[in-house]
Structure 1
Amino acid sequence: MTTSDRPTRADAARNRALLLAAAEDEFAERGASASVADIARRAGVAKGTVFRHFPTKEDLVAAIVCGHIAVLAEAARGLADSPDAGAALLEFLTIAADQRQRHDLTFLQSASAGDPRVTEVRDVLHKHLKTLVDRARTSGAIRADITEADVFLMMCAPIHIVENLASPPPLLWQRYLAIIFDGLRTDGAHPLPQPAPVAP
C-alpha cells in the first residue's frame, strides 16, 4: 500500500461518523439484534472498518451514547455564563428534549448503563447542569428547593408525555416543557412533598 492508498485522518473521521449514524439507525430499527454486518452495509464500509473503530458492539453503543451526552454537556457549559440564568436553563431543557425527540436512546442507554466511559461523560454533564441550576436558583428564576437531580430527571419528560399519543404533532412536546418549566418557577410555588433524589 502506498502512502496515497492509506486512509487519511479525514477518511477515518468520516468513516467513524458514518458508522455512528448507521449504527444508531440500525439499533433504532432492530434493537439489540442489529449486527455489525448490517451496520457496515448501511454505512457503506467494510465490516473490518467497523472493528477498526469499535472492537466490540459494546464499544459502538458506548460511543453513540457518549456522543449524545457530550452534546448536552457542551450545551450546558456554553450556557453557563448567560446573563439570564432562567432563560439559559429553559434553553438547555429545550435542547435536551429536542435531542430526545430526534434520537431515542432508551435501549442504548440501558445497554451502556455500567460503562465507565458513559459514566465519565455523564459526570461532566452533571457538573455543567449543576452550574445552570445553581445560577437559576440563586437568581430567583426557579424555586429554592429544586436540585440538579430534579432537572436531570426532567430532561426527557416532555417527550415521554407526548409518546402516550399515537401520532403527536412534532412540536407538541414544547407545550409540556412550558408547563414543566412553569412548575420550576418561584411564583405560586408550594412545598414539595418529598425530598430531592440523588442524581442518577
Structure 2
Amino acid sequence: MTLPSRPARADSVRNRESLLAAAEYEFAASGPDASVADITARAGVGKGTFFRHFATKDDLLAAIVERHVDDLVTEGRQLLELDDAVEALFSFMAMSAERRRQHGVEFLLRAGRSTPTWDDLHDRFLGIVSALLARAQQAGAVRADITPVDIVLLACAPTHIVEPSASGTRAELGQRYLAVILDGLLTPNPRPLPTISASTASL
C-alpha cells in the first residue's frame, strides 16, 4: 500500500517563501547576476537550504516567474467578471505594467524562457489577455486590429520608456505614458491623463 505523502513541514515552507522574497529583492536590485550567497544571506538560510528547494538559480528565477504569472492569471479571471470590459482590460494592463516596474524585466525574461513550463505559462498568460481583449473588442470600444501580443508589449512599454528617468519619477511617468497608450487603443473616447506632480512636469 502506498502511504500518502507527508505535508511539507512549516519551516520548509517558510524557508522557500523567504528565499523567493529575498530573491525578488536581490534580483530587483542587481538583476539576474544577483548571487546565491546574497540571496541566502538575506533570507537567513544556508546554501544547503537553497539547494534543497532549487537545483539552480535558474530554477529559482523560474519559480518567481511562475508565481507572477499565476497571480496575473488569477487577477485577470477576476477582472473578466467586471461589467465594464474596457476597464477590465485596462486594469489588467496597469497591473502588468506595475509588476514589471517593481520587479524589473531582464531576469523575468531570462527565467521565463529557461523553465520547462515556459510554454504553459506563455499560453496561460496569453489566454487571459486574449479573453480580456476579446470582450473589449466585442463591446466596440477597442480597435479590432489590436492583438493579444500588442497588449502584452504595450503594457511593457512604459517601463522601458521611463528607465532613464530619476527613480522617484518613474512611477508617475509610467502611469502617464500607460494612459497615453491606453487612449490609443480606444475607438472613440479617450481617457483623461493622470495628473503628475510639478517636479515631474518640470523634467
Provide TM-score, normalisation by structure 1.
Answer: 0.82
Aligned pair in 2 of structure 1 residues 127, 165: CA closer, same or farther (>3 Å)?
same
TM-superposed CA distance for 1:145, in Å, is: 1.0
The alignment status of 1:183 with 2:184, answered yes or no, reads yes
Query: Once the two structures are superposed, what CA deviation does each residue of 1:83-120 show, in whole Å capped at 9, x if it has no partner?
Result: 11001001101111111111103233124424222331
Aligned pair in 2 of structure 1 residues 184, 33: CA closer, same or farther (>3 Å)?
closer
Provide the residue aligned with 2:144 in structure 1: 144
Provide the residue aligned with 1:153 in structure 2: 153
How many aligned residue pairs are there?
A: 183
* Unmatched runs of 5 consecutive residues or more in structure 2: 1-6, 191-203
Provide TM-score, normalisation by structure 2.
Answer: 0.81
Provide the residue aligned with 1:19 in structure 2: 19
Provide the residue aligned with 2:96 in structure 1: 96
> Contact 2:66/2:121 (CA < 8 Å) preserved in 1?
yes
Distance 1:114 1:19 in 2: 19
Alignment of 1:1-200 (within 5 A): 9-167=9-167, 168-187=169-188
Aligned pair in 2 of structure 1 residues 136, 67: CA closer, same or farther (>3 Å)?
same
Aligned pair in 2 of structure 1 residues 64, 165: CA closer, same or farther (>3 Å)?
same
Distance 1:44 1:169 in 2: 31
AA of the residue aligned to 2:83: P
Aligned pair in 2 of structure 1 residues 148, 108: CA closer, same or farther (>3 Å)?
closer
Which structure has greater helix proportion?
2
Which secondary structure does the structure 1 equivalent of 2:146 belong to? coil
Distance 2:74 2:126 in 1: 11
Distance 1:33 1:102 in 2: 17
Say which is worse superposed, 46-55 or 180-189, in terms of deviation: 180-189
Distance 1:37 1:126 in 2: 35
AA of the residue aligned to 1:175: R
Pairwise CA RMSD: 2.1
TM-superposed CA distance for 1:134, in Å, is: 0.3
TM-superposed CA distance for 1:36, in Å, is: 2.0
The percent identity for this pair of structures is: 50
